[in-house]
Structure 1
Amino acid sequence: MIKDPANLTILKTGPGTSVQDFGRIGFGQFGIPISGAMDIRSMKWVNHLLKNKENEAVLEISQPGLKIQFDAPTQICLAGAKSNVFLNGQFIKSEGLIGIDFGDILEFGAINLGSKIYLGIKHGFRILPVMESKSFYPGILENGNLKKGDQIGYFTNQEKPKPSPVKVIFNRDWMLSDTIVAYEGPEWQFLPDSTKAQLEETKFTISNLQNRMAIQLEELIPNSLEEMSTAAVYPGSVQLTSGGKLIVLMKDAQVTGGYPRILQLPEDSIAHIAQKRPGETILFEIKRGFDFSKPH
């Protein structure tokens, strides 16, 4: 079936709305961050239901207030944080497949659970990839965030999809857990046993100091380790600063750093902590055996 081009228009948005996919893998040697969806778990789910490619780009929405209008019919899917969602002023579910008609307006209100909403669209967004990715990042693709008046292309078959009798529920139970699985990082071995025990027993609070680059935790950990000149870091690397702060690097993080890398979060744990809000607490469940030779 021929797919015609159409556009969605940003009528209103707060900060933190961008287009993301799996990110730019393999460009760290040039100083280019991976970027990509903070919660790949939710991103994969929307693309699975839409029968898109697993890596198809989606909208990542980090604040309430996004309002968008669609030129032509399509089908979208929502996942991630639970929020108040309105289609043409009518309250709708905040997960699963949603049929869109000519001129429909979709609006996101308060976020009730989690912190990142994901919106996928049938056949994906018409955005040219840069360095094998459609992910927004300042200086590479757009300025990092969408703004009022921006348009994003998509494909339409010029007919509204028929509603499906199957109602699929996005299970958010994992967002309620405070346990974050982490692996021992390269410098874990140099920590004293007392510090290791404290890292495993402390409930850490998510601070207000967070963005797509990193999340800072509030509680201090005694640190006698010297800073390094520089070393490779990845999304999910947990650094211990000289002042005892823990910094969890996220998808837009730099590619090198000088603080000891005491823990490493796998992809599911990055998604998990990305959905935590300031003031919520987490407890690290620390394991051995992270493979640093593979992209994560």
Structure 2
Amino acid sequence: MGIKVLQPGILATIQDLGRYGFQKFGVIVGGAMDSISLRIANLLVGNSQGEGLLEVTLYGTTLLFESDELIAITGGNLQPTIDGKEVPMWRPILIRKGSVLKFNAAISGCRSYLSFSGGIQIPKVMDSKSTYLRAKIGGFEGRKLQKNDIFECDKRTELGERLFKQLKNKPTYVSWSVYYTSFVTLKKSQIIRIIRGSEYELFDEKSLKKFFSTPYIITTNADRMGYRLEGEAIQLKEPFELLSEGVTFGTIQVPSNGQPIILMADRQTTGGYSKIGQVISADLPSLAQMQANGRIYFKEVTLEEAEWALIQQEKKLNKLALGLRLKGYKECE
């Protein structure tokens, strides 16, 4: 008894918050592109925030449930349906044995997050369930899901079991939902805040003005490793040789053609291109939800402003976690 993949879709992988502590060995962090949507999806079904779940990209993923399960769907709106009927997002849902869950075409955002109460029953590799596709480790046999794959869920948590029993004899989902717009933006055109990169001062003044005053378009050459952008070319004041050094999620590199690249969840551990900026942590989930042809406007902020934005985001998430737990237990009494 488990969940069977009828159609894998464009890309569906098991992800959690990433694989930390192994970059010195050349192993990337990886993890969910939109960590906020992952954390909220887990909270909704009573899991720990970092539990492994499914990251579904754009469209097509179709699953057959061979047992009753408590789930939640967050992130981009891929028009999910259960047995052909629209299913609401950002709330706990009871999906019954024999039902088919399908993700259709994305109408906002790029990636949906499907959590299961208890989490997915797979072993951790280097302390993480995240799928590292290029190295073929973690997740489901180190790869994206394929047709006829079957995976199972672990035992539900106490809160998950309470919610599960509550929905057993009532409507299959609760009447309330999370107000997600205060956590992640799903717009096609976004202002993305950055702080200065380590080579910022090496770019000429004209290029810097262009960088902050004109939009950059996400090209079709964009994936979990990085977003290649297209817009006004950026140039250094003079040629500069840079030794490879550490990079992270949101690092903006500029290769010789002058077109920026934003490194994403599956970025390499080091990079040798000049770094003009760094996307602030609070904006990474919204950036991760942008599709090809999305329009980015960069806005510079200070390190203090970036830290404040992250602190406020974490405060809101902590309040949500407490509120969901209290609401869950209260409704299940």
Work out whether the TM-score is over 0.5. Answer: yes
Show structure 1 runs of 4+ deviating over 3 A: 155-161, 163-166
Which residue does 2:203 correspond to in 1?
191
What amino acid is aligned across from residue 200 of structure 2 in structure 1?
Answer: W
CA distance in 2, matches of 1:26, 1:253: 15
On the 8 A contact 1:88/1:104 being kept in 2, the answer is yes
**Cα gap change, 1:152 to 1:160, in 2 (>3 Å):** farther
Superposed counterparts of 1:129-168, under 5 Å: 129-138=124-133, 139-141=136-138, 142-155=141-154, 161-162=166-167, 163=171, 165-168=174-177
| Kept in 1: contact 2:233–2:259 (CA 8 A) | yes
After superposition, the CA RMSD in angstroms is 2.0
TM-superposition CA deviations, 1:208-250 (whole Å, max 9, x none): 0011100000114231252413111111111011110100001
In structure 1, the residue matched to 2:110 is 115
Letter of the structure 2 residue corresponding to residue 267 of structure 1: S
Amino acid at match of 1:147: Q
Task: State the Cα distance separating 1:260 from its structure 2 match.
Answer: 0.7
Q: CA deviation at 1:24?
A: 0.7
Shift in Å, 1:170? 4.2
Contact map agreement 1:75 1:161 (CA 8 A) in 2 = no
Counterpart in 1 of 2:34? Answer: 39
Does structure 2 conserve the Cα–Cα contact (< 8 Å) formed by 1:40 and 1:267? no
The CA distance in 2 between the partners of 1:43 and 1:286, in whole Å, is 27
- Residue type of the partner of 2:270? T
- Give the one of 162, 172, 175 matched to 2:186: 175
Alignment of 1:122-271 (within 5 A): 122-138=117-133, 139-141=136-138, 142-155=141-154, 161-162=166-167, 163=171, 165-172=174-181, 174-176=185-187, 178-224=190-236, 225-271=239-285
For 2:174 and 2:17, the matched residues in 1 are separated by 31
Unmatched 5+ stretches in structure 2 = 308-333
User: Alignment partner of 2:80: what SS?
Assistant: strand
| TM-score, normalised via structure 1 length | 0.90
How far the C-alpha of 1:83 sits from its partner, in A, is 2.3
Measured after TM superposition, the shift of residue 165 of structure 1 is: 4.5
Please state which structure has a larger fraction of its residues in helix: 2
Separation in structure 2 between the aligned mates of residue 36 and residue 94 of structure 1, nearest angstrom? 22
| Residue 103 (str. 1) matches residue 98 (str. 2) | yes
Does the 8 Å CA contact 1:187/1:260 hold for their aligned counterparts? yes
Stretch deviating more after TM superposition (31-40 or 85-94): 85-94
Residue 132 of structure 2 aligns with an amino acid whose one-letter code is Y
CA offsets 1:96-146 (integer angstroms, 9 cap, x no match): 221011122111111100111110111111111101100011322234311
**Aligned mates of 2:179, 2:83 — CA distance in 1:** 23
**Identity over aligned pairs, percent:** 28
2:5 aligned to 3, 10, 14, which one?
A: 10
Q: Quickly say closer, same or farther: Cα 1:156–1:103, change in 2 above 3 A.
A: farther
Aligned residue-pair number:
286
CA contact (8 A) 1:232 1:257 kept: yes
1:46 and 1:120, CA in 2 relative to 1: closer, same or farther beyond 3 A?
same
Structure 2 CA distance for partners of 1:128 and 1:165, relative to 1, 3 Å: closer
Counterpart for residue 325 of structure 2: none
Please state whether the residue corresponding to 2:105 is helix, strand or coil. Answer: strand
Is the contact made by 2:216 and 2:232 (CA closer than 8 Å) also made in structure 1?
no
Name the amino acid aligned to 1:34. Answer: V
Q: Retained in 2: the 8 A contact 1:234–1:249?
A: yes
Q: Which residue of 1 aligns with 2:44?
A: 49
